[in-house]
Structure 1
Amino acid sequence: MIQQWFKDTKVYLEPRIIAIGFLGFFSGLPLPITTSTLTFWLSKVGVNYTSLGLFALAGIPYTLKFLWAPLLDNMRIPLLTSFFGQRRGWMIFAQIGLIISFFGLAFSDPQTHLEHVAIWIFLVSTFSATQDIAIDAYRVETLNDRQYGAGAAIGVLGYRIGMLASGAGAIVFASYYGWQTCFTLVAIVMSLGVIAVLSQPEPFRLTGSENEQQSLLSHDQAARVSRWITDTIASPFKNFMSKPYWLLVIIFILIYKVSDAMIGHMATPLYNYLQFTPGEIAAAAKVFGLWATIAGGFIGGIITTRLTIGKALFIGAILQTVSNAAYLILLANGHQLTILYSTILIENLCSGISTAALIAYLCHLCSVQFAATQFALMSALAAIPRTVFAASSGYLVDKLGWTQFFIATIILGIPAIGLAWFFANKSVQHHEA
């Protein structure tokens, strides 16, 4: 049994999985430039706090990327699509946009022309979100059900390393060589992403070629436009709603991470309540916790490979819910570093496992010909718990107290466990490799 599980770790050495890891790096690279690295740079040069706060709006494209995701399924980019294919063409298009935007940042002075910085940052966010859509669709189309969990895990690892490079790495580098050199280097590193894309084959796509040919043969411009709108916007939804239990699937996606999200939002306030120092919290939650989450993702990928996506979802739902009990133990013991690290290890490992299973499930649900649209929409649904639902977590702590709050989060996880069990017992058709 142990030998078989060890054998399943070899999935991480498969060329397709390794490629997803590299693409994850280039996906994570732009994000800190629009958030923590940006605010550090601007605050150092004396930009006022009001302007700094307004730069948070640069993240809007990440939230609304599902609006233009249908274009990546159906719109051809002149030359790029012809030479490299639909998925690779869009990835290269987004990366070229990012490279240009990073060079634009490098030669912008926030002290004299802050508006130029704002424009380039907004373009970075837009092209970065577009690249994310294309990479997610590429992962859906190139991997199969056995590989989705591993692809999710190694993609997150690459993403985190990319964020580390343009986050802490960029800040340290800029302190020695200046921000112009720093952003120029980021642009050069981003250009390696084009090489990474070109090194991989264009996936086979079950496109609407028949519809496309009919459109080209049509002499009625209005009919062509109407057909294009139908294929681009309506078809992905009609396709999804043709799946069994589609409404139950949406509910499941919405509630799967509720319990985990409620805990995640209030974990740091709990550490402060228990009088852990900022240094202790940073070392345990931010550093140790990060690697525990990544390790959990890798374990989740192995579980998905060894078993099925449905069973991995069920296991992940149980683990992420039951692991909340670790906070009750921490709460009962107070300021104990050993228990703090144990709690974070348990919670983040289980969270990583469930996240890998969920991403694998979202990939499985996508139809290949609508991968960009459907994954963007479903990932947006999956993000709702950590924003909308988690917003009530502080209110619950105020009304219930910490002990009852943690018990409530465990209860909130039970519906997800029930639905995960339901889907685990339903037969699924596997995508071909």
Structure 2
Amino acid sequence: MDLARPRTRLMALYVLLGFSAGLPFYMFSTVLSVRLAEHRVPLAIIGFFAWVQLLPTFKFLWAPLLDRYAVPGLGRFWGKRVGWIMLAQLGICTSLLAMALTTGDVSLPLTALFATLLAFWTTTLEVAADAWRIELAPTPAAQGPLTAANLWGYRSAMVAAGSGALLVADARGWTASYLVIAAGAFVPLPILVALRPEGEGGGRLVALATGLVASLAILVAAALVTAGVGTALLAAATGLGIGAASNVTPWVLGLAMLPFLLMAAALPRIRRAAPDSRLRTSAAIGPYVDFFWRYGALAIALMAFVSVYRMGDVLALNLSKPMVLGLGYTKSEIGWADGLVALAASIVGVGIGGWMVTRWRWSVTLSLAALFAAIGNLGFVWLAHQPRGVGLLYLATAADQFGNGMAGAVFVVYLSMLVNPRFAGAQYAFLSGFAFLLPRLLAGAGGSIVARLDASGYRGFDLFFLASAVISLAAILFLPVVLRAKARTA
């Protein structure tokens, strides 16, 4: 897309792209946890399903493919970025249809397979859209409005999907719920097909036909690979004796420390690497090596900071709805809370966050956003000690979504400014993925942690959400160090 195009058209496009990525997110996270809870799946297993959300953490593994290759047919006519976005939308629609056909959750491994595919294609869409955004808006002033537009679409779709899915499920069942969201996910695709071509060669119909054939082959291959990897992981977990009653927290903490140890070991060699070193010129690892080469030892501090900053929101995401269900609220009541109330609060939070990054210093914006995110998590603790009331549920939901929206907008722009524009797709995928590695690992163990706290006589949910709020505030302690980071130039 030409940078000379009006900003309003760019913002409208990114509202659409945000909508495309946000619509399926709750369907493999929050909504899925409600569905599993209703089918009486143990809380620890519901927690394990949060590990499906780990997939975006590893998007750096396939993000370089999106920078280097184009989808046959689609990429040549509509451009590389739009081609990948269109393929990802096809993957999202087919995954939602598969989840609609297995809503009985008779086979949890099959449910996990389709949820993982949905997470994979949702993440692929985000990678392509984020890379395009960084290319189009290389400064904070340009990033602020575009990021806000993207998050408005993203959060609007998340809230609409979460609310609508629960309301439809309450009235018509889970199959109808997933079919409705699948239909909504398909809507942006014809709009993208109608866009003015960016590439050259062939007509629109020829490009579309070629692209659909190539997309079908890629979708089947992705499903087969995912099934194979999933089977191997389940076999490994069984061999290690990991099950619903297992204490997985030590495993989680060990895995979380491993990336930091590897980064610290590799850093001296990376800093000494010459411009023509294979480390820096490799298509596979060069974009990631570049980040550590530019920031040196502070790269590890940066990675620790981004790991902690959104942790509170991620920890709350997977278990908040099972907790609210346990307080006696119905799916419809939760659905209405996640509807207009959450949407309005989220839009205001995103707008303020997007405005803040264009006006104030990073120290102020990052601190304020972390504070409001923590307040949102404390709202769930407060709700658990109040008499049952829909108005109170609305208030707690609004506080959570406002803080989440503000922190999300500020964090996206901050990460974008750390990225080298030469490797926009790969580096942003790496940073944003790593930012959620530790939070999602811990979220997967959250069900086990709450169950063990309850068994020990504590109020497990209270301590869990209180800890998530404290962790959000702890990110502020990193600011005196990370704000000194200046990128080294070649």
TM-score by length of 2: 0.59
* Counterpart for residue 159 of structure 1: 154
The 1:385/1:291 distance shift into structure 2, 3 A limit, reads farther
| C-alpha distance after superposition, 1:128-187 (max 9, x if no partner) | 443322112111211231243443343233235556787887997xx8xx99x9899668
Runs of 5+ consecutive residues of structure 2 not aligned to the other structure: 1-5, 35-40, 200-276
Measured after TM superposition, the shift of residue 15 of structure 1 is 3.0
**Deviation at residue 324 of structure 1 after TM alignment:** 4.4
- Tell me, in whole angstroms, the C-alpha distance in 1 between the residues paired with 2:141 and 2:65: 28
Amino acid at match of 1:73: D
Q: CA deviation at 1:301?
A: 1.4
1:309/1:360 contact within 8 Å kept: no
Equivalent AA in structure 1 for residue 189 of structure 2? S
The answer for the alignment partner of 1:140 in structure 2 is: 134
| Cross-structure match for 2:187 | 189
The answer on whether the counterparts of 1:153 and 1:298 sit within 8 Å (CA) in structure 2 is yes
> Is the aligned partner of 1:371 residue 2:424?
yes
Q: What amino acid maps onto 2:289 in structure 1?
A: K
Matched AA of 2:190: L
Unaligned 5+ residue runs, structure 1?
Answer: 1-11, 41-48, 203-225
The one-letter code of the counterpart of 2:329 is T
**Of 342, 353, 363, the match for 2:406:** 353
Match of 1:242, as an amino acid?
A: W
Partner of 1:8: none
Q: Which moved more, 1:253-262 or 1:90-99?
A: 90-99
| Structure 2: distance between partners of 1:183 and 1:419 | 40
Corresponding residue for residue 356 of structure 2: 303
RMSD: 5.3
Instruction: Quote the residue 2:8 is aligned against.
Output: 14
For residues 303-342 of structure 1, what are the structure 2 equivalents within 5 Å? 303-327=356-380, 329-330=382-383, 333-335=386-388, 337-342=390-395
* Residue of structure 2 in register with 1:418 after alignment: 477
Change (3 A) 1:411 1:192: same
Distance in 2 separating the partners of 1:33 and 1:39: 9
Instruction: Work out whether 1:294 is the aligned partner of 2:347.
Output: yes
Mapping 1:1-400, distance limit 5 Å: 14-29=8-23, 64-77=58-71, 81-95=75-89, 127-143=121-137, 144-162=139-157, 189-195=187-193, 198-199=195-196, 230-244=281-295, 245-268=298-321, 270-271=323-324, 275-278=327-330, 281-282=333-334, 285-287=337-339, 288-327=341-380, 329-330=382-383, 333-335=386-388, 337-390=390-443, 391-392=445-446, 394=450, 395=452
Measured after TM superposition, the shift of residue 254 of structure 1 is 0.7
Preserved CA contact (<8 Å) 2:311 2:472: yes
Which secondary structure state, in structure 2, belongs to the residue aligned with residue 130 of structure 1? helix
Q: Match for 2:136: what amino acid?
A: T
Q: Secondary structure at the match of 2:440?
A: coil
CA gap 1:253/1:79 in 2 versus in 1, 3 angstroms: same
CA shift at 1:304, angstroms? Answer: 1.9
> How many Å separate the matches in 2 of 1:63 and 1:255?
14
Tell me which residue corresponds to 2:248. Answer: none
Equivalence for 1:46? none
Question: Residues 310 and 435 of structure 2 are in contact (CA less than 8 Å); yes or no, is this contact kept in structure 1?
Answer: yes
User: Secondary structure of the residue that 1:388 maps to in structure 2?
Assistant: helix
Q: Structure 1 vs Structure 2: percent identity of aligned residues?
A: 26
Structure 2 counterpart of 1:418, one-letter code: L
Q: CA deviation at 1:77?
A: 4.9
2:236 alignment partner in structure 1: none
d(CA) in 1 for partners of 2:376 and 2:185?
Answer: 41
State the distance in 2 between where 1:19 and 1:158 align. Answer: 10
Displacement of 1:190 in angstroms is 4.5
- Tell me, yes or no, if the aligned pair for 1:24 and 1:157 is still in contact at 8 Å: yes
Q: Is the 8 A contact 2:79 2:198 kept in 1?
A: no
* Cα pair 1:73 1:373 within 8 Å, conserved: yes
Could you tell me which amino acid in structure 2 is paired with residue 413 of structure 1? S
